[in-house]
Structure 1
Amino acid sequence: TTSAPRPEASVAATARASSSAQCGPGSAIHTARGALVVVPDGRVAARVDTALTALLGEGHHALLTADAGPQKRYGQWLAVRRGAVRAVVGTRAAMFAPVRDLGLVAIWDDGDSSHSEPHAPLPHAREVLLLRAAHDRCAFLLGGTGCTVEAAQLVETGWALPMAADRERLRGAAPLVRTVGDAELARDEAARAARLPSLAWQAVRDGLKAGPVLVQVPRRGYVPRLGCERCRAPARCRHCAGPLEAPEQRELHCAWCGRGEPAWRCAECGGTRLRASVVGARRTAEELGRAFPAVPVRTSGRDHILDTVPGRPALVVSTPGAEPVAEGGYAAALLLDGWAMLGRPDLRAGEEALRRWLHAASLVRGQDDGGTVVVVAEPTLRPVQALVRWDPVGHAQRELAERAELGFPPVSRMAAVTGGPEAVAAFLTAAELPPDAEVLGPVPLPLTDPARPRRTGDPPPGELWERALLRVPPGSGAALAAALKSAQANRLARGGGEPVRIRIDPPDIG
């Protein structure tokens, strides 16, 4: 069991969402100790809040989310601080909740970027809860539909124990996952290049006979990315080099600076005609609505997120992370444009794509109930095969082994130093790095991915920054952090100049 308040009883749970762990806030409370649960967003927190209210009754736990408002949130925090309640559920900021006599800390879906604080000192909820578990000698529970490399490392080192459903139970609970393989290509030669191959259309038609169908699209908007029709070069703004987009019923304009581009011309070949290089969720919903005119189409994304949808036949088009829960589960799901997630220049591209696919697929009915998932991506790729086998743990273990061979985090400790070219060079010269530190770069920082919102630490649009990666072997992380802290303090004491940003163990290494 994981309710024993000892580090050796800690668990890294990588079971499917439907699997039940024999540990939770109720178990900790029954042993007269406190419990703290951190989840990615307010929607998940609300569902956990409802479940705990049914289990424990009113007034036995606190819900700490930004949606509650400052007055209610502060009242809940005071109740936790005074020991009036011993169980806390909340989003990222709840990792610091002053729960008395902790018996359990738990985090759900630690791979979600919402768990990473974008402001200094840039803590991650998983790392904070690990420190609290070791300091308070309490149990640690990590759960999710997927498995991160960090979770695999906890098990690999023996700090945590794995807890997962057996394969027989998993086969019955997980949906049938299909890819566009050789059989489909033999029947339909255009299936490999088609955005919606015949297999996907068939899955939608069959699924709508039994209930709602989920369609996951990586990009929001209508036509968020455009390219030249002749040479396929990305269409960019003449002023800031930002990506051009064509929102529904609006003129062409830049997604970064907002300037209009009524007379665009390709800088590579001089062409004047555009094509959609990326199709967004709204355009996908429009196309599916024309293909299935008698079926209602609903969208869920950044602008409007649905919490739940009825169990009646309908098409639900959603961006990753905004998928609503269907009553009775979805009859089928389509995972479109897999290349958009797998092709990102990021060390975590495969892990992140698999995590998002597993989350969407976990909302589909089990194979025993006819649930089907179709993923439109190259079937031979490792994340696609891991989805077909429903094996996130095996995927994470292989990723960990490759990172150990190449010296990438979390096996090594790494820091990113970002800023203008002169500022980064001066900082590296002044820093007294450990003898075993390896400096990679500096190199020009890649342009911000236009598909995601801008984050704290991104360079201003159109401004060229550089990034240097500093790598040290295990055991030298504290020395590296101390050296960078000292160099930054000395630099700021002298007046600073251009900004230099430092991030220990950056979550996204391009």
Structure 2
Amino acid sequence: MAHSEHPAAEDPAAQDSAAEHPAAEYPAAQDSAAEPQGEQLELIRTELRRAKARPKPKPVAETLPVARVVVDKALSHLDQFFDYAVPARLAESAQPGVRVRVRFGGRVVKGQGRREGGKLVDGYVVERLAASDFAGPLAPLAQVLSPERVLTPELLRLCRAVADRYAGTLADVLQLAVPPKHNKPEGELAAEPPGGPVPAPAPAGWARYPEGPSFLAALAAGESPRAVWSALPGPTWPDELARAVAATLASGRGALVLLPDGRAVARLDRALADLLGDGRHVALTAELGAEERYRRWLSVSRGAVRAVVGTRAAMFAPVADLGLVAVWDDGDSSHSEPHAPQPHARDVLLLRAAEAGAGALVGGFAVTVEAAQLLRTGWARPLAAPREETRRAAPLVRTVGDHDQAADAAALAARLPTLAWRVVRDALAHGPVLVQVPRRGYVPRLSCARCREQARCAHCAGPLEAHDAAGPLGCAWCGRPEADWHCRECGGFKLRAQVFGARRTADELGRAFPSVPVRTSGREGVLTTVPAAPALVVSTPGAEPVAEGPGYAAALLLDAWVLLGRPDLRAGEEALRRWLSASALVRGAEQGGTVVVVAEPSLRPVQALVRWDPAGHAATELAERAELGFPPVSRMAAVSGAPAAVADLLALTRLPEGTDLLGPVAVPVGRGEDRVDRVLLRVAPGRGAALATALKAAQAARLARGRADPVRVRIDPPDIG
């Protein structure tokens, strides 16, 4: 990485002659012969006292006296390394990779080894040097915060690659990669790695896939296979992932697996503990708390543990000698980091696999278009079961179209078509039934019964919702109650439900099946498991609990139009992913498991669910993306902000040749908020790095020129509406 100017050069006063030559602070304004002799002698004595009072320069380290530091300043024009002098007292502790504190900004007083002004900021020592290529005086390191080497060269290279790919700064990525310091875990003795080799596991569930046993054998032999795994429905996927990890450990290498949430991590954690025993792996999730997460992260950094499972925060875990990276359900939005520069966990893992020469496994019940692109380019190979095995493992999927609902007015009013009612009635005799509802709450969207205009809050224009059957309406944005609503368009006072939530659905099902308990799982409370006894389990997507025993006897997928009607390029893919995740919890067709989807049967995602063909659906979606020129076939950046700021950034950006500019278009904002424009920049494959570099340089230029209006840049946005 290129070195740039020292921060002392930011302040012109650092080069001022008065600072370099202290005697220049006392100019002789009059001829000395005209001054009284006593006053002149007193002036000389004063100068001597001041010169004597100045502190002596602090001694620096005898060897490698320069520390190159990356500071925690997430500004594009400061995304560079800075050189500092290493005081002799810190010569032993200021090693590459440790956390330090430095004074940033202000000016260096020549000859005194100290900095005036500026602020103390944290940073990391990148390397120690014999000399600096900066000609001016170097400010000293202020403090070594910890002797723990948390920033390894491998982690630094990864963070730099992620920052460059996503047009971000190294400081931003380091905040994601290195957890905050805690003294207690650092003071504890490093744990000893478990003794004895890990034996290569038996294929077990992988035997159902023609390429499964050879995939495990390649990992155990130290090879690096790369695969897109279309997992069979059922509860065995944690054990299969655990066996892939065990095979990698058997080769003497490390493994890293990312999952979308803590519940999935807990399932894999249990499977690994059963297969490997204690001490061979760690789980990194937010539920642990900051101190315990740091303790486990240190065990990985120190080499005591070589297998890590966790959520997206673990994507930078410093696993030594990485042999396998795996991501489960890569289409889940929780894999996309919300903090700058907003990397996607799947892409970070693929970067790590390419850098380390490791194997890669992208798995799930669904297949994303990004995974289909890996197959199309030959970067990875498919890992799927034959159709006969899929038919045995998958439940029977039946569809209910609009014409079926219209034939039964009573069922239509209750949102439960006759076919769905019969399936639920019969399935409850054998076990629990899962009901997936796309929206949480009671009635989350309301409209005028006369003109169908959406009901909005009089204060902030947010959507109104009903929290229960009898209570007042409330705003979903500001939370204010709305006791006297009337339509601003037609003056009507009657409301109708646009969308029914999970709690309203639970009420309806409770009335339809009064003798059966009804449980809900969603934002208000997520259930992990439910008993195998008959019950109705109403859940929002992603919060479906696992049914004990053989699984759910049946599942209903209600209000499919809510998912399919999203104004998003990924609407069909996302709907199918959520349906597959819920349907995979249902017993196989041989055990009588049935899924009913309330949707138009001819729609492509519905047909893909009926055939249980996620790979075919992803391949078709990828072909359409190729025709439209959308990611992942191309690379794209979304630039959003105030119209003038967006125009200013684009004017400063030296776009790669052939860049397509789509927009600007106005982004919907709340009432009273300033307008926000969005522009999409699209380039051909192979030019994504040039586009990210150009946008980052333009951001740096705006900051250097004092532009105050922020502009948000996101590379490869997952949601293109």
| TM bucket normalised to smaller | over 0.9
1:494 aligns with 2:715: no
Partner of 1:107: 327
In the aligned structure 2, how far is the partner of 1:117 from the partner of 1:339?
28
1:336-375 pair list within 5 angstroms: 336-375=558-597
Moved more, 492-501 or 479-488: 492-501
For residues 406-457 of structure 1, give each alpha carbon's deviation from its aligned partner in whole angstroms, at most 9, with x where no partner exists. 100000110001112222222222222112111100101145xxxxxxxxxx
With over 3 angstroms needed to count, the CA separation of the structure-2 counterparts of 1:405 and 1:175, relative to structure 1, is same
Partner of 2:301: 81
With over 3 angstroms needed to count, the CA separation of the structure-2 counterparts of 1:87 and 1:391, relative to structure 1, is same
With over 3 angstroms needed to count, the CA separation of the structure-2 counterparts of 1:461 and 1:331, relative to structure 1, is farther
Q: How many percent of aligned residue pairs carry the same amino acid?
A: 68
Partner of 1:122: 342
In the aligned structure 2, how far is the partner of 1:91 from the partner of 1:338?
28
User: Bigger radius of gyration, 1 or 2?
Assistant: 2
User: Which residue of 377, 382, 388 corresponds with 2:610?
Assistant: 388
1:216-295 pair list within 5 angstroms: 216-248=436-468, 249-295=470-516
1:52-451 pair list within 5 angstroms: 52-181=272-401, 184=404, 188=408, 195-248=415-468, 249-327=470-548, 328-446=550-668
What amino acid sits opposite 2:683 in the alignment? Answer: V
In the aligned structure 1, how far is the partner of 2:406 from the partner of 2:582?
29
Q: 1:106 is paired with a residue of what secondary structure?
A: strand
Q: 1:221 is paired with a residue of what secondary structure?
A: coil
What amino acid sits opposite 2:539 in the alignment? Answer: S
In the aligned structure 2, how far is the partner of 1:461 from the partner of 1:27?
58
* Contact 1:421–1:466 (8 Å) recurs in 2: yes
Q: Per-residue deviation at 1:40? A: 0.5
TM-score (normalised: structure 1): 0.94
Moved more, 253-262 or 171-180: 253-262
Q: Per-residue deviation at 1:190? A: 8.0
* Contact 1:5–1:139 (8 Å) recurs in 2: no
For residues 378-409 of structure 1, give each alpha carbon's deviation from its aligned partner in whole angstroms, at most 9, with x where no partner exists. 11110011000000100000000000011000
With over 3 angstroms needed to count, the CA separation of the structure-2 counterparts of 1:263 and 1:176, relative to structure 1, is same
With over 3 angstroms needed to count, the CA separation of the structure-2 counterparts of 1:104 and 1:460, relative to structure 1, is farther
Gaps of 5+ in 2: 1-213
* Contact 1:242–1:461 (8 Å) recurs in 2: no
In the aligned structure 2, how far is the partner of 1:169 from the partner of 1:5?
29
Gaps of 5+ in 1: 448-458
1:16 aligns with 2:237: no
In the aligned structure 2, how far is the partner of 1:50 from the partner of 1:318?
24
For residues 42-65 of structure 1, give each alpha carbon's deviation from its aligned partner in whole angstroms, at most 9, with x where no partner exists. 000011001100100011111111
Q: Per-residue deviation at 1:326? A: 0.3
User: When the two structures are aligned, how many residues end up with a matched partner?
Assistant: 498
TM-score (normalised: structure 2): 0.67
* Contact 1:228–1:234 (8 Å) recurs in 2: yes
Moved more, 272-281 or 143-152: 272-281
Moved more, 436-445 or 174-183: 174-183
* Contact 2:401–2:599 (8 Å) recurs in 1: no
Partner of 2:682: 471
Q: Per-residue deviation at 1:262? A: 2.1
With over 3 angstroms needed to count, the CA separation of the structure-2 counterparts of 1:12 and 1:105, relative to structure 1, is same
With over 3 angstroms needed to count, the CA separation of the structure-2 counterparts of 1:462 and 1:72, relative to structure 1, is same
Q: Per-residue deviation at 1:192? A: 7.8
In the aligned structure 1, how far is the partner of 2:641 from the partner of 2:579?
34
Q: Per-residue deviation at 1:27? A: 0.4
In the aligned structure 2, how far is the partner of 1:191 from the partner of 1:494?
64
With over 3 angstroms needed to count, the CA separation of the structure-2 counterparts of 1:435 and 1:129, relative to structure 1, is same
Q: Per-residue deviation at 1:195? A: 2.5
Q: RMSD across aligned C-alpha pairs, in angstroms?
A: 1.9
1:452-467 pair list within 5 angstroms: 462-467=673-678
* Contact 2:254–2:324 (8 Å) recurs in 1: yes
* Contact 1:242–1:462 (8 Å) recurs in 2: no
In the aligned structure 2, how far is the partner of 1:242 from the partner of 1:501?
24
Higher RCO by CA contacts (8 Å cutoff, separation 6 or greater)? 1
